[in-house]
Amino acid sequence: MREVIFDTETTGLDPKSGDRMVEIGCIEMIGRVETGRSFHAYFNPDRDMPPEAERVHGLSAAFLATKPRFAESVDELLEFLGDAPLVAHNASFDFGFLNNELEKIGRAAINLDRMIDTVAIARKRHPGAKLSLDALCSRYGIDRSHRVKHGALLDAELLAQVYVELNGGRQIGLGLVDSPAADTATAATPTANAPWHRPSGDRPRRDPRPHAASPEELERHAAFVAGIDDAIWTR
């Protein structure tokens, strides 16, 4: 199943009071395995950047003034999202800003039935524990040392790892999906019809050894079977 993990950065906390989305980062997963495909964009919000918001993500009004407006990137974004379930941390916040931007340009809102909230999942799995992205990364041993400030794509990448852990851990994606990512991950796995090759290629592959019984072995086996008294297969 295809899912998209995403995160946003904004000018504040309330889209209905004039706050805008200024960055979005999306990671594609199929069968809970990252495919390597992503979408990332900054947006010019046509407004100032409050200092408290800039301290969180480091995006200044001057930097964003050179970026396209949401309407200029919306088609590419919606094409990437497709009809996949959308996973976010405290997802109602991100959905609120994304749908507010869509509403401003007369586009249809994204149905909330597609929303998967990792905070809600974490609350069920770890009641009473801290549920921030940082806290969950620490719980699951996910390296976030490069996260100096919030960033939509970086946070989506971290959340993708957390999401896998919240759903059972990394072993759930081993060879169980029909996708290019899974094909790559399992390409070296031996099958009944394919010989095993050492990944390093440091030894030549040997031909399979014969395992058929020789005529002498078959003769000895027949004599042994004939000597069994009251064999169950003769009853």
Q: Binning pLDDT at 50, 70 and 90, where does residue 177 land? A: very low
* Active-site residue set: 150
**Predicted local confidence at residue 61, as pLDDT:** 97
Q: What is the pLDDT of residues 210-226, one digit of tens each?
A: 667 778 878 887 787 77
Share of the chain above pLDDT 70, in %: 80
**Is pLDDT larger for residue 62 or for residue 210?**
62
**Predicted local confidence at residue 208, as pLDDT:** 62
Share of the chain above pLDDT 90, in %: 67
Concatenated DSSP letters of the chain: -EEEEEEEEESSS-GGGT--EEEEEEEEEETTEEEEEEEEEE---SS---HHHHHHH---HHHHTTSPPHHHHHHHHHHHHTT--EEETTHHHHHHHHHHHHHHTTPPPPPGGGEEEHHHHHHHHSTTS--SHHHHHHHHT---TT-SS--HHHHHHHHHHHHHHHTT-GGGGSS-S-SHHHHHHTTT--BTTB----TT--SPPPPPPP-SPPHHHHHHHHHHHHT-TT-GGG-
Q: Name the CATH topology of 2-179.
A: Nucleotidyltransferase; domain 5 (3.30.420)
**Predicted local confidence at residue 194, as pLDDT:** 42
Q: What is the pLDDT of residues 105-127, one digit of tens each?
A: 999 999 999 999 999 999 999 99
**Does the pLDDT value for residue 144 go beyond 90?**
no
**Predicted local confidence at residue 50, as pLDDT:** 97
Q: Which of 11-15, 98-102, 117-121, 203-207 has the lowest mean pLDDT?
A: 203-207
**Predicted local confidence at residue 232, as pLDDT:** 72
Mean pLDDT of 188-195: 42
**Predicted local confidence at residue 211, as pLDDT:** 64
Mean pLDDT of 61-71: 97
Q: Binning pLDDT at 50, 70 and 90, where does residue 207 land? A: low
**Does the pLDDT value for residue 174 go beyond 50?**
no
Record the pTM. Answer: 0.71
**Does the pLDDT value for residue 170 go beyond 90?**
no
